[in-house]
Structures are given as C-alpha cells and as structure tokens.
Structure 1
Amino acid sequence: MVGKGSFAESAMQFLCWILGAAILGVHTATCTNASYVYIDSESTMQFLCWILGAAILGMGICQKAMTLEEKVKNLQEWMYKRPLINMNMDRWKTYVRSSPRNYSMVVMFTALSVGVNCPVCKPAYDEFYIMANSYRYAYPELKALYFAVVDFDEAPQVFQSMNLNVAPVLIHFPAKGSRKRIDQMDFTRQGFDADSMARFVYDRAEIQIRVLRPPNYAAPAVVLLLAMLVLGLLYMRRNNLEFLYNRTSWALVSLCIVFAFMSGQMWNHIRGPPFIMTNPQTRETSFIHGSTQYQLVAETYLVAVLYAAVTAGFILLNDAADGKGDPNRRRIMAFIGLGLVVVFFSLLLSIFRSKYQGYPYSFLFH
C-alpha cells in the first residue's frame, strides 16, 4: 500500500518536472527565433506526450488491483485500531466492490452530521459500534468478517452508487455470490439495538457475536442516591415511624413496582432501546414499535400509565360496591370506574393488536 502511493507520487513529481522543463524550453526558443519556436515547440510537445503516456502507464501499473493478502492485511490493521472502518469512495471500490475477496463486509450507511435531520442515526451507530467492538474482542484473528461505516457527508458517491436516499441502512456483502434482498436489515421490524444486529449477522454470516456492553454506572449511582434519601427521611422522622405500618403506602409502592415490571422496564434496562423511533422512509416518529420482539422506552411509559388507569378504575368499582356513603356518590364512582376500565383496557388491546399482527380481538379502538 505504501509502495503504491510512493510510486504514484514519484511519477507525478517526475511529470511535473518534465512539464516545467518543456515550458522553459519553449520560452527560451521563443526569445531566440520565431521560426525555431515552431519546430522546437512541436518536438517538445511530442516528447511531452511520450513522457505523459509513460507516466500514465506507470501509474496504471502501480494502481493495479490489490492482492487478497494486501486487502486482508490492511483491514486487519484498521480493525485493530478501531472496530468500525470508515469508508470513502476509494476504499469502497477496493475493499467492498472489487475482487478478489474471501471475507464478508457488514456496512452501515448513515448520516451523522448535525445538519442532517436523522435522530435515529446516532443511536443506531452507537449500537453498531458496540456490536462491532464485541466482535473484535471475540474474533481478533478470524479474518472472515469486517464492519464498516459510510457517512453521507464523507462519501455521498457511495450512496449514489447504491441508490440509497435514506439512512441508516445496514447491508451485508457476502464473500461469495451476489447480494440478496435479505442481506439488508429491516430496522423497522427487527429494531436497531446491538443484539438485533448480532442476530442479523449470525443469520447472514453464521458468526455468533456475544454483545458486550460497556459498564453503565448511572443506575447504581441512582440507586445509591435513592437509598441515601430514604435513610435520611427515616432518620429525620425517627421519632414517628407509624407511616411504616400504613397499608395504603405499602400498597402504592407495590403497585408502582408491578406497573414497572408489567410495562417492560427491566427489558429496557437490559436491552437499552431508544426513547422513540423515526421511520427512515417516511420520517414519521413512532412511540410504539410494530414488532413483538422489540419495544421503545416511550412505549413502556404509555403501557404503565394504561395499566395504572385500569387499576384505578377497578379500585373505584370496588369502593362503589362497598355499600358505604352517599348512594349518588357511589353511583358516580361506579360510572367513572367502569369508564376507566373500558376505555383504557380497549387502548391496551389496540396497542397489542398493533404489535401482534393478526390478533382478532378488540373493543372500542382498532
């Protein structure tokens, strides 16, 4: 690689020196004799054409296709430095589109510039980086798969050659054979977290990647601060701890824990999904993911609120049927409780239908 670049650079320097000498010769002849100028300049131009052809031929020879060993060596060196290889047009043609190639490439086409309206590009890139870094630690010497990134600002010609007008896009380029439609990952259906990308790589390249996420110290810090806050409150009220025996308080705490687990907060903690998702084709923002294998953070909040509303409706129905108090007040509580249960349970069914295509049951909302 180094030899090729130095040879081409030397050829260009030699060509520039010949051009300068030719121009100097023509200028000298012009100052001497006008008739001599015509003969000497013509000879000089012929000589220059010969030199130009030789230089172009030499550059063509030095820029011949790289061998497979050179390609793999360069890719390995880049992978040792960084799990994702940045692709420009020259690298794209050399390492992805040209032969020989006995390795697969998984390339993410993205737009990370601040001026590009792509809120999902940065989270998808971060997840892709985590997955590629996990592969680098697990298979440093496999030499069968490499991960690359094409940024629109750095290589728009690559987007044009692939006929891509959306981002992000993840495509697998197999080592042998032509690329198929299933070699492009469907982010809308599969999600764009690192685990989903690892499953996509396993399906296409048959290489199992165990995703290793960097440690997140935010959650332990929050738990520690919360524990210190609770202990501080208990210390301040150490002379009056009757509230610890209040059944209503413990019931509310238990319900909050139940709502958190039913909505999928633990899944969010493990998988780390984005808050919302923007469809790369339509640019529509979604708060609910359309697959049963994935969910968004905003979706879990919405489901928790719906479960809480249904629970509040049942509590009102239970209190209304208790038989104590004003009958009109109990009747109003019963109607409100029934309305909460009917409306918000119908919304829960509607959300489930949107995620599980073909579910036959619904109530008020479709």
Structure 2
Amino acid sequence: MFVKLLIWLFLVIIFYHDPADAQKKKETLLSEKLTQMMEWASKRSVIRMNGDKFRRFVKAPPRNYSVVIMFTALQPQRQCGVCRQADEEFQVLANSWRYSSAFTNKVFFASVDFDEGSDVFQMLSMNSAPTFLHFPSKGKPRRSDTYELQVRGFAAEQLARWVADRTDVQIRVIRPPNYAGPLLLGFLLAVIGGLAYLRRHNLEFLFNKNVWAFSALVTTANAHTHLPTTTHTYSTSIHMVVILHQAFKIHTYIHTYIHTYIHTYIHTYIHTYIHTYIHTYILLRVECVPAS
C-alpha cells in the first residue's frame, strides 16, 4: 500500500502542470509569433510562406490574428498569367494596409506558392490557383472565408471589401501613380506639334483621317480595365496544368474592338467637323476679299 502511494505521488509530481505557468507559456509563444509576423511584414507587405511557416504561424495555436493568404503559382514554368495579375492586385491591397495609419497586428497578408508549399495545397485539398482564403483568429475557416474569385474578380478594391466583411478592418486602397498614360499622350502631342512646325506651310496632314485613326488606336492601347477573370490549375504529383477561361479572351476581344470603334468614330467626327469649319471659313474669307 505504501509503495502504491509513493508511485501515485510520483506520477502526480511528474504530470502536474500549474495553470498559471501554462498560461504564461501560451502568452510567451503568442508574443514570439506576433513579433516574428511583424518583422516579416515590415520587410514585405505580403509574407511568403512555405509548409513549415504555414503550419507554425497559421494552423498551430495560439493565434489572435487573422491571416489572408493567396494560394498561387507564380513560377514561369506554370504559365499562369492570371496568377501574376492577381498577385499585383494583392500586393496593392497589402501595401495599402501596411503603410496606412490604421495598421495593426490584427490582420496579416501572406502567400503560398505551389512550388514552395505543395504540401499545403494537399493539406487543404486545394486544386485551383489563384485562390484567396481567410484564416480567422478564432476557429476554423468557414465557407465565406473563401473568396469568390469567379464572381468578384481580383481587383484590390473588391478584395478590400471582402477583407472588411471578414475581419471588420477597413482598408483604403491606394494605387501607385501610373505615368505611362501622361507620358504617352505627351509624346504623341510632341510628335504632332513637331510635324506641325516642320510643315507649317502645309497643314493638310492634320485633315488626314489615317492620322486621327492612329491617334485613336494609341489612346485605346493605353486603356486599362480590370476584368473578372479566373484561372484553374489542376495539380498532380508531377506537374500543374493551367487553363485560362475562354470567357476572359472573348471579353478582352469585345472590349478592345468596341473601345477602338468608339474612339475612332469620335476622332473622325471631330476631324470632319473641324475640316468642314475651317474650309468654309477660308472660302468665306476668299469670297469677301474685294477684287483689285
């Protein structure tokens, strides 16, 4: 009996855990994870994760922060053009959050590439990219934590609305300035101005429809539209096949032709109106000149 009592006391001493000590360890671990996540976020707005980082900082408790992850396939051999476009929009969203005055450690943005974290794809039974998932600070992801890419598209503004709905964090999307349009327009005006100066005694080229049609095409080429697109990637143990949705190509063709037609029609109409007005004015002036 005495021996059994000693064994029992020995087991109690070994397996006894102080609740306060356990809570302290939990807080220490959480603090270490937050510190590491903040350090990564200070270097890159979108944290790159592999399988180990995902399991430690996203799946494993404790965690009091949300993580929005884009699962993608950016390697050149995957030939996923839409993945690159979605990544650019995701970077815009993450940068808008990282450099805003409201930035906190409540939400982090991360990405998992198929070639760096194929085990994560298998763990989540994921067979498509790009895919956006929200991992809440408490509990497991729900159906609404998967972003409806086919319905909403991948524009940063749409992603920001979805993040606000899932985390109550409002992100004002701020895009970097794009100087391509003004530079192209300035170059075109400079070319036209130079030609007008060189041929100032013969300005008939200004009434050439081909010149205005070319200007319309250049202006249309600068137009940029975010289209609701999607790409599906089916993964196997050997490779990943990328299929671009045909609706994206059809949408692009229709948009380009309509845009071109409208711009060409407007430029041609303006050219015809100016041409008619100037010639009529010149003829009237000539008729009004008294005969010598």
Normalising by structure 2, what TM-score?
Answer: 0.68
* Residues 166 and 220 of structure 1, relative CA distance in 2, 3 Å threshold: same
Q: Secondary structure at the match of 1:150?
A: strand
- State the partner residue of 1:185: 147
Specify the code of the residue in structure 2 equivalent to 1:279.
T
Normalized per residue, the structure richer in strand is 2
Distance 1:238 1:169 in 2: 58
Distance 2:103 2:153 in 1: 29
- Is 2:115 aligned against 1:153? yes
Distance 1:280 1:227 in 2: 43
Q: Residues 84-123 of structure 1, C-alpha deviation per residue, up to 9 Å, x if partnerless?
A: 1111222111111122211111001111111113121111
Q: Secondary structure at the match of 1:216?
A: coil
Distance 1:170 1:179 in 2: 12
* Residues 297 and 138 of structure 1, relative CA distance in 2, 3 Å threshold: farther
- State the partner residue of 2:255: 300
- State the partner residue of 1:85: 47
Specify the code of the residue in structure 1 equivalent to 2:245.
T
* Residues 128 and 308 of structure 1, relative CA distance in 2, 3 Å threshold: closer
Distance 1:177 1:191 in 2: 27
Distance 2:127 2:50 in 1: 17
- State the partner residue of 2:187: 225
Deviation, 1:192, is 1.1
Q: Residues 305-361 of structure 1, C-alpha deviation per residue, up to 9 Å, x if partnerless?
A: 56589x79xx9xxxxxxxxxxxxxxxxxxxxxxxxxxxxxxxxxxxxxxxxxxxxxx
Specify the code of the residue in structure 2 equivalent to 1:283.
I
* Residues 289 and 181 of structure 1, relative CA distance in 2, 3 Å threshold: farther
- Is 2:66 aligned against 1:104? yes
* Residues 130 and 299 of structure 1, relative CA distance in 2, 3 Å threshold: farther
Q: Secondary structure at the match of 2:202?
A: coil
- State the partner residue of 1:280: 232
Specify the code of the residue in structure 2 equivalent to 1:69.
S
Runs (4+) of structure 1 exceeding 4 A deviation are 287-290, 296-299, 305-309
Q: Secondary structure at the match of 2:99?
A: helix
Distance 2:230 2:139 in 1: 33
Does the aligned pair in 2 maintain the 1:287–1:298 contact within 8 Å?
A: no
Distance 1:198 1:208 in 2: 7
Distance 2:164 2:75 in 1: 30
* Residues 306 and 235 of structure 1, relative CA distance in 2, 3 Å threshold: closer
Distance 2:68 2:117 in 1: 17
Candidates 77, 90, 96, aligned match of 1:134: 96
Q: Residues 183-213 of structure 1, C-alpha deviation per residue, up to 9 Å, x if partnerless?
A: 1112222111222211221121121112222
Q: Secondary structure at the match of 1:76?
A: helix
* Residues 159 and 205 of structure 1, relative CA distance in 2, 3 Å threshold: same
Q: Secondary structure at the match of 1:91?
A: helix
Specify the code of the residue in structure 2 equivalent to 1:67.
L
Does the aligned pair in 2 maintain the 1:103–1:145 contact within 8 Å?
A: yes
Q: Secondary structure at the match of 2:134?
A: strand
Does the aligned pair in 1 maintain the 2:69–2:112 contact within 8 Å?
A: yes
Distance 2:139 2:127 in 1: 25
- State the partner residue of 1:8: none
Query: Which structure is larger by alpha-carbon Rg, 1 or 2?
Result: 1
* Residues 73 and 135 of structure 1, relative CA distance in 2, 3 Å threshold: same
Candidates 174, 177, 192, aligned match of 1:212: 174
Does the aligned pair in 2 maintain the 1:278–1:286 contact within 8 Å?
A: no
**Identical positions, percent:** 37
Distance 2:247 2:197 in 1: 42
Aligned length: 232
Distance 2:134 2:249 in 1: 24
Q: Residues 57-108 of structure 1, C-alpha deviation per residue, up to 9 Å, x if partnerless?
A: xxxxxxx976211111111111111111111222111111122211111001
Mark the runs of 5 or more structure 2 residues left unpaired by the alignment.
Answer: 1-24, 234-241, 270-292
Does the aligned pair in 2 maintain the 1:83–1:132 contact within 8 Å?
A: yes
Does the aligned pair in 1 maintain the 2:129–2:231 contact within 8 Å?
A: no
Q: Residues 164-193 of structure 1, C-alpha deviation per residue, up to 9 Å, x if partnerless?
A: 111111101111233111211122221112
* Residues 288 and 160 of structure 1, relative CA distance in 2, 3 Å threshold: closer
- State the partner residue of 1:121: 83
- State the partner residue of 1:76: 38
Q: Secondary structure at the match of 2:243?
A: coil
Q: Secondary structure at the match of 1:283?
A: strand
- State the partner residue of 2:6: none
